[in-house]
Structure 1
């Protein structure tokens, strides 16, 4: 069966409902000849007769009746799809969002709580992923929105099929064991050249930043530990197992100090990323607008 014109399917359904070509023509402001031609064209598209003579009128053949029954479902689905994709439609549907933990906690959860009150027809499904994982799923259309981040010293280039909106920016610091008279981290980063380092086990962004800082200071950092948990990173710093880069806004446990990085500063920017063009989908547009309206920053690490 070739591609079928939905307008012709609609006329077939009307013929089934009204019983005559003239009634269909009068209802839709067409001529009887036009209705007849459209039904004949539909018959050619599906490769079978749809009407047969019935005195001076016509009636649907068994195949015509079966196609009319299918057409009711097909046209209803097409109408639902148009409403679903209409940017002006009332937002409704299921949004699949994946991203890093701080982005979810800081940016997404307050919005989800608001949408549950104001737009109960919008459902948000949340999964935690590192940026590279979320972007890969977004590219495969397994997510509708990815919450990602990059650093000013390790920017991420997105493919032209994606669109990113910045959400917030946060400074990062150097985490070291607490001690009297600790220097500012910007006063000679090379002073830390002989130390071991701790980086993220699931994402290379902080390691890329660390290696850039080391290169600018004339050394190659010696990475010994790869840890995903912020609490465990702090445990290792406290135990003297290495230094790490952590968000300046975090509140480390006693015995761990955060030193400001200024020369150069290390800044993390969070983004809401969609596939290009999908941001016009009404529930996704609603979520993006709510995320953009927030003025909150992170309180802990990704």
Structure 2
């Protein structure tokens, strides 16, 4: 893992319709992410926030059942360019969200530097919807499909190429809320998924060991996309789309520690922290703790 970490904030709340998640990067910084990582003797560079344009309208228009398509596409393109520059510089991109639509930009910026980029999608949801299959039209439920080249061309063609990733290089961990179209796509593409059923049955150590072994032989880099709603809302209440029965903070710490030991993670993003829905910045503090574990923090 690179010793230089470049932090990019993305105050994006247009991929869904609940306000507040645009303050996620500020909440994570307030929770002390810079100090936490500097204690690990890492070289930290905070590149500030990507500028996200607000829609001119107030009713969040949909185009082809895609809410705020223009603004989300433009914001994702700006993020992709910044991430591309960070990877070119030899630094590790650490992206702070913002809603999960930002993963389209992160993956676009990262994947062009790898032949077979692996992705660990740590999330309650599959985020494999399209404009046709989405019940809501919220783009934060679509970034994994978009990165596979499935969806509107304004999203799939960010940075001028598609697809960004291959279905056989994806592992979804913690899923417990999948729409019908997502279930069909998972089966059709053969995507590796560890639902909460598998986590409960196998235990987190076995799930992570299988995930690491699965990706290790077939990828030349691995991106972690961690949605805080992957955790149980009793522990991480500050998220926009909470789903009961989620992963515990301790399980998630173990997952991050195992990924740190694997030395396979080459970029990461932590998304969907919404301080308006939170309790005393609890969810942002959890995000910071998990980032610390991912980047090598240990008790001894």
Q: TM-score range by the shorter chain?
A: under 0.3
- Which protein is bigger by CA-based radius of gyration? 1
TM, length-normalised to structure 1:
0.22
TM, length-normalised to structure 2:
0.22
Whose strand fraction is larger, Structure 1's or Structure 2's? 1
